[in-house]
Homo-oligomer: A and B are copies of this chain.
């Protein structure tokens, strides 16, 4: 039996379904969860969408986002089926304290965990939204405009609106179907990329003013004083390290963010084959080949120097 068929057969025999996704939810997490909830509602299921953290401003255009709950007690009554989306361990969803009668995992992250009675983990999928899209079609539910907006956002978020290497023909074909069903690419792109707070943009400009590029390595920093002056928080620095990548000669881009007690958090981005996860691992951090991070307790000048040496060492291997 195909895994999707098995999932459908289990889901059909249930009345109450709890859909949960990871903390610090992103577009793929929320879009996947909300589209699956809408599809299951349309075949008569009672659903709850749970995420420990509230829906970030950026995603408050997704149809149904107001139904995302951050308190779980009500949803647990009646012993629901659990579907874990875009992550594959209870810890990632802040669910480790609870017991579930039966659980299904749908995720595209690589993993070593073994949670879930049914595990559908496909690291080749560009987004969990691609898996949910195929599942919803297999269930036989009509892709409404609301479902299309959620799925398109999920896929757009995890492929950088079709700019990353995971943009396969299947991803673009899915995009075409979802636009046909009512998703508006310009509206969604504008929600994803053009809804910054003014103060966040001020922080970006401040950070860019600290930019130094040497031997293909771009380094910026954000001190606590800069956060204070602009009235911003650590979360506001998301995507900052992508900007210096616009410069052709930049191979690695780093942002050092001061967190207090002499600790700096580094976000690294790289182009092509340069594996910044290897650098992050040296400092007990982690991530992927082209996007990784670590923490370091030292002064900024030393942190910078260490990073430059680590990148050079990587290049010499």
Contacts and interface: CB of A to CB of B under 8 A. Distances in A.
A306 interface: no
Given A208-B208, A248-B197, A179 B190 contact: no
A190 B273 CA distance: 14
B194 A245 contact: yes
A173 B168 CA distance: 11
A55 B164 CA distance: 25
A180 interface: yes
A264 to B, nearest CB: 22
B163 A198 contact: no
Interface string A128-158: 0000000000000000000000000000000
A36 to B, nearest CB: 22
A246 B175 CA distance: 23
Given A197-B247, A205-B208, A169 B180 contact: yes
Contacts of A271: 190, 194
B165 A195 contact: no
Contacts of A173: 172-173, 176
Interface string A153-190: 00000001111110111111101110110001110011
Given A162-B161, A201-B244, A167 B194 contact: no
A246 B239 CA distance: 12
A249 interface: yes
A209 interface: yes
B168 A179 contact: yes
Contacts of A185: 162-165, 167
Contacts of A43: none
B196 A248 contact: yes
A272 B161 CA distance: 19
Contact of A194 (B170, B184, B201, B248): B248
A98 interface: no
A247 B201 contact: yes
Contacts of A125: none
A162 B190 contact: no
Contact of A205 (B175, B189, B194, B211): B211
A282 B317 CA distance: 61
B190 A167 contact: no
A176 B168 CA distance: 7
Contacts of A195: 248
A173 B208 CA distance: 38
The 7 closest A-B pairs by CB, nearest first: A172-B176, A163-B189, A167-B185, A165-B186, A195-B248, A169-B176, A169-B180
30 contacts: A160-B189, A161-B162, A162-B189, A163-B189, A164-B185, A164-B186, A165-B184, A165-B185, A165-B186, A169-B180, A172-B172, A172-B175, A172-B176, A172-B179, A173-B176, A175-B175, A193-B246, A194-B271, A196-B246, A196-B247, A196-B248, A197-B247, A198-B213, A198-B247, A201-B244, A201-B246, A205-B205, A205-B208, A205-B211, A209-B209
